[in-house]
């Protein structure tokens, strides 16, 4: 039995004879698959050649960008060197003038200037107990509930404690108008649970007293105590000012009991206010 195949007859115009080519089916199938493989290779070539070509076209631009970055990096290094020299000259000048470095806070950073988040800080001095001439010492010792006027002058209460239920109004504590720089005294003995800067209160001090009482002193211009300090009643913990959300120099004085704000004028009977 002969193997079946395919015969191709070729007859040229003007010739008397024809030529026949016999191809087996196996060879024909092999040729078909070979042609398909070549087609696939061609498709893959164009599929990968496009991105490669585009990447190759970007090489000159990337080389120019690398060159530009190298030049800028060199400039940055020059500026850094100049800054280091300026810093060294500055420190040398400080030593020549005998200027000491600013004090370091308990957290390890400088007390004056600004923190890393941009919030301003203030110079912290040692605790003082200033008193007006002839002022009798009437403050108790140790921790105590707030009962003393936080200033050594009456001041003017420009805004009082807002009662619960008053619509469109919320103002815990009282605002006492006093000149900037007036000593602010602890209304009672306790522990400083927070002292720093707040967008609303400005420079503030928060004291913890016995029996669930807290006092807040806001809008000060200078803090004279720090978190963790134990203060006595009447101790000067700051100086009044106009920091934070404030339109004029005053002291924001607030008393809280078990987390709820109460009217300071109901608890503080001395000092008085105009």
What pLDDT, in 10s, does the model give residues 208-255? 999 999 999 999 999 999 999 999 999 999 999 999 988 889 999 999
Average pLDDT of the residues of the chain: 78
Q: What is the per-residue pLDDT for 95?
A: 62
In tens, the pLDDT along 50-75 reads 777 777 778 888 888 888 888 888 88
Q: How far apart are CA 19 and CA 9, in angstroms?
A: 6
Q: Quick one: how far is CA 65 from the chain centroid?
A: 33
Q: Which residue is it, tokens 């720089």?
A: 181
Report residue 260's pLDDT band, with 50, 70 and 90 as the boundaries. Answer: very high
pLDDT at site 55: 77
Look up residue 131 and give its two tokens: 């008193």
Cβ atoms of 211 and 153 closer than 8 Å = no
pLDDT given at position 202: 93
- Compute the distance between CA of residue 201 and CA of residue 242 in angstroms, rounded to an integer: 9
pLDDT of residue 145: 94
Question: Considering the entire predicted model, what is its pTM?
Answer: 0.51
Distance, CA of 78 to CA of 104 (rounded, Å): 31
* β-pairing verdict for 183-185 and 19-24: unpaired
**Residue 118 region by backbone torsions, left for phi larger than 0, else alpha for psi between -120 and 50, else beta:** left
Convert the pLDDT of each residue in 148-169 to its tens digit: 999 988 888 887 665 555 444 4
The CA distances from residue 10 to 15, 19, 22, 166, 219, in Å, are: 10, 5, 11, 109, 107
């Amino acid at each position: 039995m002969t193997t079946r195949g395919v015969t191709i007859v070729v007859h040229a115009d003007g010739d008397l004879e024809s030529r026949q080519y016999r191809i087996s089916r196996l060879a024909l199938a092999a040729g078909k698959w070979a042609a398909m493989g070549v087609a696939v290779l061609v498709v893959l070539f164009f599929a990968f050649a496009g991105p490669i070509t585009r990447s190759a076209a970007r090489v000159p631009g990337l080389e120019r960008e690398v060159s530009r970055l190298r030049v800028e990096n060199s400039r940055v290094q020059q500026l850094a060197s100049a800054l280091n020299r300026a810093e060294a000259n500055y420190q040398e000048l400080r030593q020549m003038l005998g200027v000491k470095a600013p004090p370091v806070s308990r957290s390890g950073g400088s007390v004056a200037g600004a923190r890393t988040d941009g919030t301003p800080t203030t110079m912290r001095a040692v605790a003082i107990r200033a008193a007006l001439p002839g002022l009798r010492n009437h403050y108790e010792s140790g921790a105590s509930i707030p009962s003393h006027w936080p200033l050594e002058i009456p001041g003017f209460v420009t805004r009082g404690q807002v009662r619960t239920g008053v619509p469109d109004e919320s103002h815990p504590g009282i605002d006492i108008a006093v000149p900037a720089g007036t000593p602010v005294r602890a209304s009672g003995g306790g522990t400083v649970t927070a002292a720093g800067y707040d967008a609303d209160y400005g420079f503030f001090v928060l004291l913890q007293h016995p029996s669930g009482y807290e006092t807040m002193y806001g809008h000060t211009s200078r803090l004279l105590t720090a978190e963790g300090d134990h203060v006595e009643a009447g101790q000067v913990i700051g100086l009044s000012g106009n920091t934070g959300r404030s339109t004029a120099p005053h002291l924001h004085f607030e008393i809280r009991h078990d987390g709820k704000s109460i009217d300071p004028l109901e608890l503080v009977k001395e000092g008085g206010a105009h």
